[in-house]
Structures are given as structure tokens and as C-alpha cells.
A and B are shown apart, each in its own frame.
Chain A
Amino acid sequence: DTAVSQTPKYLVTQMGNDKSIKCEQNLGHDTMYWYKQDSKKFLKIMFSYNNKELIINETVPNRFSPKSPDKAHLNLHINSLELGDSAVYFCASSQVGPRRTSGSGNEQYFGPGTRLTVT
């Protein structure tokens, strides 16, 4: 059973298009995340949702809009795609919210990634 799954795995599209990436976790976790990994392999957080509430929103262009229909799903919609959006996008989840300051449950589990190429 896949714990954190993403679709699609690969996405090739042209500049200006709108696309969505879907993420689902079956771990029963309360918190989900979107990360972007650039060509230099650096992982940077974009968004975090805890029980469908947005709790982390980094300085990401507003062309990127996360949507969480329930706590097991966190989708990422990208409008007006640009060349610089080409990267690998990872979804992750954790048992507790990121502001939890003690105890376990902070560890994050990642999906397989979506490789987005904008031409």
C-alpha cells in the first residue's frame, strides 16, 4: 500500500497552461505539505495544511493554489505556467501539525514526486 501517492508522475506542458497535481495519503495524518525541489535538489516548502486549514504559505506566487478537500488529500493547482516552474513537486504528510513542539509525530513522509516540465 502506498502511503503518500501523487498523480501524475510526469507532467509536460506549455507555458501559459493551467495544471493540477493531486496528492493522497492513507496514513491517517492530520497535516499535508507541498515541497518544490529544484534542479540543484534543494527541497523547499511551499504550503502546509493541517486538518484542511492552511497553516504555512511560503512566498509562492499566487499562481499556485493548494486545495484540501479533506485531510487525506491536498491538491496543487498552478495557473499560467512559466518556464521557472519546471521542477519536481513533492507532497508529504505528518501525524501532527508543524507547530507541535514536543513528542513524536513530526516526521514527514514523502510521495514519489511529480516531475513538471514547462516548455
Chain B
Amino acid sequence: QKEVEQDPGPLSVPEGAIVSLNCTYSNSAFQYFMWYRQYSRKGPELLMYTYSSGNKEDGRFTAQVDKSSKYISLFIRDSQPSDSATYLCAMKGGSNYKLTFGKGTLLTVNP
């Protein structure tokens, strides 16, 4: 089992939809969870960062961590065409001090 699993998509939604992006992981020691957005031919841009469990909200973005299920989510409300990008989850913790990335989910928001 890979340490971090992320559905690569592609995911296509209409403008205004609520988008749910998810990752599962196997290492129970992970405690730092990040979401990055990567536009085509650009560097990953940090969107959200959470430590341990719980929710965090920033504008249209909400990050959720469920450590009991080893499952993290990123919700995008009122999605916009400018949200079209690849979304990468990343996490670290415990003896695994390297940031481990998912393979990314390609999202397209259609106007």
C-alpha cells in the first residue's frame, strides 16, 4: 500500500459547483497536512496547512483531516474556472520527516 493515495481524476465540474478532493494515507504518525495547487507549467502553490485533526477554512477553501480514518479532504465552494489546476496533498510526521506527496488530482472547472 502506498503511503499516500490520491485519485488522479481528471475531475470536471461546472462553475459554481462544490468540489471535494481527497487523499488517504497509511502512516498513522502523519500529523502535518498540506494542500497545494499547481497550475500547468508552474510551481506548487501552498493553499492550506493543518496540524493534527480538525477543519480549517480560508475563503472558499476548507481543509478537513480525519486522523481516525486516515483521510483528508479539500473542499472548494463556488468553484471558478481559475480553480482549474492539479491539486496535490502532502503530509509528514513521526519518523517520516520528508514531505510525502500524493500524485495530484487534475481539476477542470467549466464556465
Contact partner, B98, options A42, A98, A109, Cβ 8 Å: A98
Q: How far is the CB of B5 from chain A (nearest CB, A)?
A: 13
Contact call B103/A42, Cβ cutoff below 8 A: yes
Contact call B92/A110, Cβ cutoff below 8 A: no
**A34 CB–B CB distance under 8 Å:** no
Number of A residues whose C-beta is below 8 Å from B?
A: 25
Give the segment of B16-24, B45-53, B54-62, B68-76 that binds chain A.
Answer: B45-53
Given contacts A40-B103, A106-B32, contact A45 B46 (CB under 8 A): no
Contact partner, A109, options B46, B94, B103, Cβ 8 Å: B46
Chain B contact residues, majority secondary structure: strand
**B63 CB–A CB distance under 8 Å:** no
* Best-surrounded residue of A41, A56, A111, A115 (most CB of chain B within 10 A): A41
Give B51's nearest chain A residue, CB to CB: A104
Give chain A interface residues in 51-89, CB to chain B under 8 Å. Answer: 56, 58
Give B29's nearest chain A residue, CB to CB: A101
Contact call B42/A41, Cβ cutoff below 8 A: no
Contact call A112/B43, Cβ cutoff below 8 A: yes
Q: How far is the CB of B2 from chain A (nearest CB, A)?
A: 11
Q: Mark A29-57, 1 if CB is under 8 A from B, else 0.
A: 00000000000111111001000000010
Q: How far is the CB of B87 from chain A (nearest CB, A)?
A: 11
Contact call B97/A99, Cβ cutoff below 8 A: yes
Contact call B42/A107, Cβ cutoff below 8 A: no
Chain A neighbourhood of B103, CB < 8 A: 40-42
The answer for the CA separation of A43 and B36 in the assembled complex, in Å, is 12
The answer for the CA separation of A95 and B86 in the assembled complex, in Å, is 25
The answer for the CA separation of A48 and B97 in the assembled complex, in Å, is 11
Given contacts A104-B51, A106-B32, A106-B92, contact A90 B43 (CB under 8 A): yes
6 interchain pairs, CB-CB under 8 A: A41-B103, A48-B98, A98-B98, A104-B49, A108-B90, A111-B43
